[in-house]
Structure 1
Amino acid sequence: MATGGNAIRGTRVGAGPMGEQDHGHHADRVAVSYWDALGNETVRYFAAGIAEEEIPEIIDSPRSGLPAGRDRENPPAVAKNEPYKTHLAYVKERRSEEEADTILADALTQLRERRGQD
């Protein structure tokens, strides 16, 4: 059996001639590099006509998840996560010990009056 040559084998129907470059217009763009604290570089592309102030200064690095900035020598620092605070911790930030004692004494007095104890 002789094998025949089939020029369209493995190509998409209607794809046009091989190597055709007329599949749309490519807009002009600018490449902006971002670096994270580990030294990873991420390149983002933006439209060439975009205003400079619309290009973000900080993005999240897809490699590390850390914040990445446009200054290679001074990448943004990782934000320090504050531990979870209880309700009591927030109250202690707002009230002094004297205020807490006064409020507690008033609350106990009201409770005793309601119960008929005094």
Structure 2
Amino acid sequence: MAMSGGNAIRGTRVGAGPMGESERGETAPRERIPYFCANGHETRPSFAAEAEIPEFWDCPRCGLPAGREQAAPPAAPRNEPYKTHLAYVKERRSDEDGAAILDEALARLRANREL
């Protein structure tokens, strides 16, 4: 049996018929707002006309924050180095505090062992 060269539904999915405003309803009035990042990229996301326009937008190309002023884009955020739990503890307690706490804990353990 010979197959015909074309298939009427090839490359389509369920519900992928021609869609117009009659099926989806009226589209809200929109406006494109330009945003500029520190790497010089420009992006123009579309917002509904009555929507509140955000001050910053993430650049889709590099991920840096983008602002509305091309001459003064927001600076890249400063990445803090990863700190271990011990580093945070050392910020809160001095070595003397740590030694005192250790001595207290050891004294409690020794007292419990004698019981």
**Same fold by TM-score, threshold 0.5 exceeded?**
yes
Q: Is residue 105 from structure 1 mapped to residue 106 from structure 2 by the alignment?
A: no
Aligned match for 1:72, one of 61, 70, 95: 70
Which secondary structure does the structure 2 equivalent of 1:65 belong to? coil
The Cα shift of 1:77 comes to 1.5
Report the TM-score, using the length of structure 2 for normalisation. 0.68
* Corresponding residue for residue 34 of structure 2: 33
Q: How many residues align?
A: 92
TM-score (norm 1): 0.67
TM-superposed CA distance for 1:113, in Å, is 1.7
Whole-Å Cα distance in 2 between the matches of residues 102 and 27 of structure 1? 67
Q: CA deviation at 1:114?
A: 2.3
Identity of aligned residues (%): 54
How far off its partner does 1:97 sit? 2.4
Give the superposition deviation at 1:103: 0.6
Give the equivalent residue in structure 2 for 1:46: 47
In 1, Cα distance between the equivalents of 2:91 and 2:80?
15
- The answer for unaligned runs of 5 or more in structure 1 is 1-14, 16-22
Runs of 4+ in 1 over 4 A off after TM superposition: none
Q: Deviations over 1:25-77 (max 9, x none)?
A: 55432221000111111011222233xxx211111111112111112112111
Structure 2 portions without partners, runs of 5+: 1-17
Computing the radius of gyration from Cα coordinates, the structure with the larger value is 1
CA distance in 1 between counterparts of 2:50 and 2:106 reads 69
